[in-house]
Structures are given as structure tokens and as C-alpha cells.
Amino acid sequence: MLHIVNKSPYMKGSLESCIRVAQKDDPILLIEDAVLGAAAGGGIESLIQGAMKDHQIYALGADLMARAIDGLIPGVKVVDYGGFVELVEQHRTMTWL
């Protein structure tokens, strides 16, 4: 299952709940404000790094660019809208509104 998170992990617990419930090998895609969590050096880095043991973390490039997030946590994969669509094609989804 693909987990899609769109809320900033600094404001809401959506990403934490997602990581807690996601099954091993489920990919997690950060979009909109959730991409703020993908920035290296932030307080969320250890949460993301821990999650990367069991999950591939993706972040939507357009949202990173819009927020000037360039230094990413190593291992986070950037996808464009095409990549977003491919992920949705390949998995059922759960969106953590």
C-alpha cells in the first residue's frame, strides 16, 4: 500500500501515525506541506531515517521546489508528477489527510 502524507510533520502527527501503522515495504510519499519533513538537519530527520529501514520515502519535486527545500535527508527519492502517477498505478493508497 502507498501511503500519501500531505501535512507538515512539524504541525501534525499524520506522518508519525502513518509510519506507526504502515506495513513493512509500503512506500511513503510526501506531498504538499509534508515535504518539509524531508529537509536534512530538521527535527524530523531521525523519524524519517528510522522509517527508511522499512519504507522507501518519496517526496514530490514540485512541492520541494516551491518551498526551497534542497538539502534532502539522504535516501529520500524525489519524484515528479509522472512518478506520483506511477506510484498510484502500482499500489492501493491510503492518504493521511
Q: Which residues bind another protein (CB under 8 A)?
A: 1, 13-14, 17, 20-23, 92-97
CB of 55 to another protein, least distance (A): 12
Considering the complex, state which of residue 22 and residue 44 has its C-beta at the smaller distance from another protein: 22
DSSP secondary structure, the chain, as one string: -EEEE-S-TTT-SHHHHHHHHPPTT--EEE-GGGGGGGBTTSTTHHHHHHHTTT--EEEEHHHHHHTT--SBPTTPEEE-HHHHHHHHHHS-EEEE-
Considering the complex, state which of residue 46 and residue 95 has its C-beta at the smaller distance from another protein: 95
CB of 92 to another protein, least distance (A): 7
CB of 91 to another protein, least distance (A): 11
